[in-house]
Amino acid sequence: MSWIQKLYETYENCQSMIGKVASEKEVPLLPICHTTNKVQIEIVIDHQGNFKRARVVTKDDARTIIPCTESSGGRTSGEAPHPLCDKLQYVAKDYAEYGGSKNSYFAKYQSELEKWCTSQYKHPKALAVFNYIKKGRVIEDLISYKALIIGDDGKLIDKPEKKSKDAPDIFKVLKDQSEAFIRWEVEIPDDKCSQVWEDKTLWDNWINYYSNTKQEKYLCYVTGKELLSAEQHPAKLRNDGDKAKLISSNDTSGFTFRGRFTDADQACGVGFEVTQKSHSALRWLISRQGSRIGDQAVIVAWATSGVDIPDPLADPLGILGEDNLQSDDSDNVSVAQNIAIKLRHKIAGCKSELGDTSGVVVMGIDSATLGRMAITFYRELTGSEFLDRLEKWHDSCAWVHDYGYNPETKKRIRFVGAPAPRDIAEAAYGSKVNDKLKKATVERLLPCIIDGQKIPRDIVDSAVRRACNRAGMEGWEWNKALGIACALFKKLNEEEGYNMALDESRTSRDYLYGRLLALADSLEQWALNKAREDRQTNAARLMQRFAEHPYSTWRTIELSLSPYKARLGGQSQKRQAMIDEVKNMFDTQDFINDKKLSGEFLLAYSCQRETLRPKGNSNTNESESETLSETDQ
């Protein structure tokens, strides 16, 4: 139960954040006994319960904090009304009169609201809502204000007659208007907060009322104290429609605990307030900083103190921000050093805020079914351990990456650092990799980041094979795959001490062959650019074959260079001299050996290509233009 204890600690440390949101997508940290829902209609009444006006709520303003019970907070079907804000079938007595398509639960809603309004914890806004809904004209008033639309038969219409920009507002936010969710605004003289979802006094009154309806106490396994028991545990952890739960004791079917215990509390006892706070904290953390993989899996890392920490599944672009990664420095080695320094400064800043002993938790959750959720990954670390391991990952798996042109920022995405796990999955298995394989790959890479485990060889081999096959990818996609493959191979072979800069003293067979391929590729590309020809070079087309049979393929590539050298004339002499220099570094037996190359040749290819790139030019080989010739004249 340590995960729920850590979440409970996080909630207690972050109470100043309750109710606050930074964006519409972020779920706020909720007070206990509350949940959020997307609403479609807002009704304004006065303090006596008289209707004043109504409006359709836009999608940007739809998320609303509402009071809930344990059963209503986790309802999937059946009669479980929220105590104040709910759907039309709950709050509208005249729902059936206007052709509501589902069962009406108004009687139960009215009964539960009346109990609250007649208790010592009643609130004037809740009482005003109760006085209004008793009149039984909610839908009638909404129709009069054109928030709901009826047809010639006097019933709510299913859809507008034809699609157009002039369609009623309700159909812009909802397909079936009878499913509309209602929230209330109560205007009371001298009360500046008319919105019930922002009134903290109403929050407190509901919490006190609902808490006092509970009587039985059990041992809470989290705090070790006798606390009010939780009958059900919250859902909606990953999104507003998420019904899967981490803790469930429903034994009416499926035999969750029967045969081992006589009742659910013997299996797991968690206090009502503890589970409410813990689940609210988890939902808040997921919406705020969780990394989603597909539709179901989520991985979230957080500090229990509430201090912001770097996302372990992000690349430097995600951690530092694109503006901090762009550099006008023409020396690629200097760029790498600058990025490394910025990342270290970021991590050092987090260390000073966290301290050495502050707790950090990394947690992964996933669900195989709609109703049950499981914890797939869980680690507790000190702040220093977490940041040291993250820093080691970004140092040992760093490479020069070129992800192409970003049309939103109108900048080229080029940075130095470790790739993100989801990008690694796409580089290894293709951009159209299915969610199941992507999720499995990210989950396998997570221990490499958090625990320092060795990177799986099969993932590295897949990335290397795909980077060798340029034919099936566009230029930007292949450049991305190349950078990631180099980063992974470097990480897998840390003991070799590979650098991002070209190592002209390294004489291994695979490394030298990689340099040769890059030199041949750039010479032919230079000649093609001179002639304004837009096609792949022979070296690019034969790259996969070269990786399998380097010696025999090199002979083909070298012979194909003759017409391009003739086209360039004397300008090609410097490049040819570089090719001859690399060939002379081979051991004779290594050169004529035609066995398959390892991923090391990609490292050499990438480094040699970076060295040939003119200073100040960040373009890739596919668009180097005639600037290549400037370095060879």
HEC secondary structure over 395-449: HHCCEEEEEEEECCCCEEEEEEECCCHHHHHHHHHCCCCCHHHHHHHHHHHHHHH
Q: Which of 496, 522, 544 is the last residue of a domain?
A: 496
Whether residues 108 and 153 fall in one domain: yes
Residue 328 counted as domain residue? yes
For residue 249, tell me if it sits in a domain. yes
- Is residue 123 domain-shared with residue 98, that is, in the same domain? yes
Q: From 182, 213, 244, give the residue that closes a domain.
A: 213
Report residue 317's pLDDT band, with 50, 70 and 90 as the boundaries. confident
**Closest to 91 in 3D by CA, of 51, 129, 47:** 129
In a shared domain, residues 72 and 148: yes
Q: Determine the average pLDDT of the residues in 418-430.
A: 94
Taking CA atoms, 90 is separated from 52, 78, 544, 609, in Å, by: 21, 11, 65, 67
Q: Kindly state whether residues 233 and 374 are assigned to the same domain.
A: no
Tokens (6 digits) for 582: 């690399």
User: Would you say residue 107 lies in a domain?
Assistant: yes
Same domain, 203 and 233: no
What is the number of structural domains in the chain?
4
For 103, other C-beta atoms within 10 Å of its C-beta total: 10
> Are residue 479 and residue 553 in the same domain, yes or no?
no
DSSP annotation of 198 reads G
Assess if residue 501 is contained within a domain: no
Residue where a domain stops, chosen among 435, 463, 496: 496
Q: Which of 2-6, 169-173, 241-245 has the lowest mean pLDDT?
A: 241-245
Residues 40 and 86 in one domain: yes
**pLDDT tens, 81-107?**
999 999 999 999 999 998 877 889 999
pLDDT at 2 over 60: yes
**Is position 137 within any domain?**
yes
Asked if 306 and 256 sit in the same domain, the reply is: no
Range with the lowest mean pLDDT among 293-302, 340-349, 496-505? Answer: 340-349
Q: Which domain holds residue 594?
A: 509-630
Q: Are residues 276 and 310 in the same domain?
A: no
Is 282 within the bounds of a domain?
A: yes
Pairing of strands 411-417, 399-406: antiparallel
Q: Tell whether 603 is covered by a domain.
A: yes
Do 236 and 331 share a domain, yes or no? no
55 and 136 together in one domain: yes
Whole-number percent of the chain with pLDDT over 70? 88
pLDDT in tens, 518-574: 999 999 999 998 888 888 899 999 999 999 999 999 999 999 999 999 998 888 899
With left for phi above 0 and alpha for psi between -120 and 50, is residue 621 left, alpha or beta?
alpha
Lowest mean pLDDT among 228-237, 557-566, 622-631: 622-631
Do 317 and 444 belong to one domain? yes
The identity of residue 18, as a single letter, is I
Decide if 575 is inside a domain. Answer: yes
In sequence order, which ranges of 222-293 are alpha helices (DSSP H)? 264-267, 272-289
Do residues 141 and 93 lie in contact, with contact meaning Cβ atoms separated by under 8 Å? no
